[in-house]
Amino acid sequence: MLRIATIGTSWITTQFADAASRVPGVELATVYSRDADRARAFAAEIGAAGSTADLDGLLASEEVDAVYIASPNSVHFGQALAALRAGRHVLVEKPATPTAAEFATLVAEARAAGVVLLEAMRSAHDPGMARVRDLLGEVGPVRRVSLRYNQRSSRYDRVLAGERVNIFDPAFAGGALNDLGVYCVSALVDLFGEPGRVVAASVPVAGGADGAGAALASYPGFVADLGWSKITASDVPSEVQGELGTLLIDHIAVPRRLELHRLDGSEVESLIDAPLFDLSPELRAFAALCAGEGSPSADHERTLAVLRTIEAVREAADSPGSVPR
């Protein structure tokens, strides 16, 4: 039995608890929150066996094998580092760390401790993304790619009212790029590898975080444009255009309807029968790695490539010109 403690008491942790209830061999052992009352209440809500406001005590506990970190982005690194040094497996929400250098440090620590480190990038383990990979060859040589994720946050109204909200606060590594744009970048890297050059621009909101942004990435033979926003909304699909056809993707984070439009006039529709928001595939992958099945090395390389690209996007948005990768 893999006994997992959760760090963070937000909505995403509730979804994780639901996934844990459906993955054999996984048990929610403890909930951690800095607020002991909040920890107790959340443990009761998700069905965890215990709760604590003592992180050091939790990591030292022999009743915990692994931790799931879903705290603010800015504290991922410190909490993950402490857990790895305590000999605990770590599953950390995306983005795993604010920088690629920090994640590389965590990878080295995990290897030294002989434990598993995995970023909880839901889309990388999603069956819809696997189907996208299967259909990619049908479009012929790729020439243009557009990946989008635009979803207005209900918390943006609080920003407009003058509040500081974690998800829009640079001090917590918040902003649209880290929250939604990361899915566009992850899909880009997953499907095509790291881009050669990047140009980008962003729209700041009160407090200094990016509320929306766009990037243009170049590859040998094709270009890709990415768009993300937490202050506007759009249902326009993502697409991959090739010389033989175009693949439309309804949602880049959770592909459930794919449409292949060939230049010869034929069409193929592929519907993915899976829940819209399901963390169980990534949890199954994590549990298997913790059981000694396979290696996380490929996942580490993907995460590092995504974080390097995000850094290039952010640097390009902050300065004129393009940033070579």
Query: Does 110 lie in the same domain as 178?
Result: no
Query: Does 256 lie in the same domain as 140?
Result: yes
- Residue 312 placed within a domain: no
Q: Residue 202 sits in a domain of what CATH number? A: 3.30.360.10
Tokens of 223: 């270009």
Give the β-pairing of 257-262 and 245-249. antiparallel
- Residue 323 placed within a domain: no
Query: Does 192 lie in the same domain as 239?
Result: yes
Determine contact, residues 290/32, Cβ cutoff 8 Å: no
Cα 314 to Cα 175: distance, rounded to the nearest angstrom: 11
- Residue 213 placed within a domain: yes
In the numeric block, the tokens 């909040």 are attached to: 38
Number of neighbours of residue 160 by Cβ within 10 angstroms: 11
> Which strands sit side by side in the sheet containing 66-69, from one edge to the other?
50-52, 26-32, 2-7, 66-69, 89-93, 117-120
Query: Does 266 lie in the same domain as 139?
Result: yes
Number of neighbours of residue 32 by Cβ within 10 angstroms: 28
Q: Residue 64 sits in a domain of what CATH number? A: 3.40.50.720
- Residue 174 placed within a domain: yes
Cα 117 to Cα 192: distance, rounded to the nearest angstrom: 24
* pLDDT tens digits in sequence order for the chain, 325 residues long: 999 999 999 999 999 999 999 999 999 999 999 999 999 999 999 999 999 999 999 999 999 999 999 999 999 999 999 999 999 999 999 999 999 999 999 999 999 999 999 999 999 999 999 999 999 999 999 999 999 999 999 999 999 999 999 999 999 999 999 999 999 999 999 999 999 999 999 999 998 999 999 999 999 999 999 999 999 999 999 999 999 999 999 999 999 999 999 999 999 999 999 998 899 999 999 999 999 999 999 999 999 999 999 999 999 998 755 555 5
Residues whose CB falls within 8 Å of the CB of residue 284, separated by 6 or more in sequence, listed in order: 23, 125
- Residue 296 placed within a domain: no
Determine contact, residues 173/252, Cβ cutoff 8 Å: no
> Can you give the pLDDT at residue 151?
97
Cα 238 to Cα 235: distance, rounded to the nearest angstrom: 9
- Residue 309 placed within a domain: no
Query: Does 255 lie in the same domain as 204?
Result: yes
> Can you give the pLDDT at residue 324?
59
Q: Which helix (H) or strand (E) holds 225?
A: strand 222-229
Query: Does 151 lie in the same domain as 27?
Result: no
Query: Does 95 lie in the same domain as 161?
Result: no
Give the β-pairing of 2-7 and 66-69. parallel
Query: Does 150 lie in the same domain as 92?
Result: no
280-290 and 11-20 helices cross at what angle (nearest 10)?
A: 60
Query: Does 99 lie in the same domain as 152?
Result: no
Query: Does 233 lie in the same domain as 162?
Result: yes
Q: What total number of domains does the chain contain?
A: 2
Radius of gyration of the chain from Cα atoms? 20
> Can you give the pLDDT at residue 277?
87
- Residue 167 placed within a domain: yes
H-type alpha helices, the chain = 11-20, 36-46, 55-60, 76-85, 100-113, 127-136, 156-160, 176, 182-192, 280-290, 297-318
Query: Does 131 lie in the same domain as 264?
Result: yes
- Residue 157 placed within a domain: yes
> Which residue range(s) make up the domain with 26?
2-120+280-288
> Can you give the pLDDT at residue 325?
58
Residues whose CB falls within 8 Å of the CB of residue 318, separated by 6 or more in sequence, listed in order: none
> Can you give the pLDDT at residue 111?
98
Query: Does 11 lie in the same domain as 148?
Result: no
Number of neighbours of residue 87 by Cβ within 10 angstroms: 12
